[in-house]
Structure 1
Amino acid sequence: MAGNQGQFEIKFRLTDGSDIGPKNFPAATSIATLKESILAQWPKETENGPRTIKDMKLISGGKILENNRTVGECQSPLGDAPGTVTTMHVVVQHPVTEKEKKAASKATQNKCMCVIL
């Protein structure tokens, strides 16, 4: 995450390969605020897009970023030289509904196993 005076230029890579940004963010910006920005700019024509920030995970430097941390705290000590744009990957994972939980548990209950000794 590069920057001047605590500013970081970040672009967000979506699962379909498209990008949102790059855009400058202050070092004190929380990850939750980044997610809100992504949600507001998410392409409307995309299927299965996030409905809330809880549906998204941001990944940078191979680590899932926590909502309560700031951009400055998540800065990679190695790869972020001044003048570069940091790419964060956005993963959408909708919460499992009660109906899906019941279907999954029912499927595991009906399994049959055979053991030949």
Structure 2
Amino acid sequence: MEGGGGGGGGGDLIEIKFRIFDGTDIGPSKLDPATTVASLKEIVLAQWPQGKEIAPKMINDIKLINAGRILENNRTLAESTVPVGEPSGGVITMHVVVRPPQFDKENEKELKKLPKQNRCSCTIV
């Protein structure tokens, strides 16, 4: 089965799949080594499986992990992958972590607009 994957110009591409928290995979996709981590996150966001309880809303909600390292948005795929004994042509699996929503000053304004919930506080003497 040697049909389509010759040793030509496509050999420079890196094949990656993204594994999300429940074991579901996104991809694999063949990507240029110059692709930034931010672009990888955009791919994950665009291809996120429908119907998941937890889903990222923007790329800042996503952390990509490869070989135990959290990848930085401004780094390229070539800088972020660690080819530790991987066979040539192997698929690199990156793990995807979705951050819980964080409250910053912008979100604080939105929270103030929400109706206040009645909360009970009890004191035991």
Show the 5 A alignment for 1:76-87: 76-87=82-93
Q: With the length of structure 2 as denominator, give the TM-score of the two structures.
A: 0.72
1:10-50 Cα distance to aligned partner (Å, 9 max, x none) = 00000011000111000000000000001000012111200
Alpha-carbon distance in 1 for matches of 2:59, 2:72: 11
Alpha-carbon distance in 1 for matches of 2:13, 2:89: 11
Return 68-77 or 33-42, whichever deviates more. 68-77
Alpha-carbon distance in 2 for matches of 1:77, 1:42: 26
Q: Percent identity?
A: 52
Question: Is 1:49 aligned with 2:51?
Answer: no
Counting matched residue pairs gives 96
Alpha-carbon distance in 2 for matches of 1:77, 1:14: 21
1:61-111 Cα distance to aligned partner (Å, 9 max, x none) = 000000000000112142332121000000000332245xxxxxxxxxxxx
Amino acid at match of 2:61: D
Q: Which runs of 4+ in 1 moved over 6 A?
A: none
Question: Is 1:13 aligned with 2:19?
Answer: yes
Question: Is 1:59 aligned with 2:68?
Answer: no
Larger radius of gyration: 2
Alpha-carbon distance in 2 for matches of 1:89, 1:53: 14
SS class of match (2:96) = strand
Aligned CA-pair RMSD: 1.4
Bigger RCO of structures 1 and 2 (CA < 8 A, at least 6 apart): 1
Structure 1: unaligned runs, 5 residues or longer: 100-117
Question: Is 1:91 aligned with 2:97?
Answer: yes
Alpha-carbon distance in 2 for matches of 1:80, 1:64: 19
SS class of match (2:38) = helix
Alpha-carbon distance in 1 for matches of 2:78, 2:11: 11
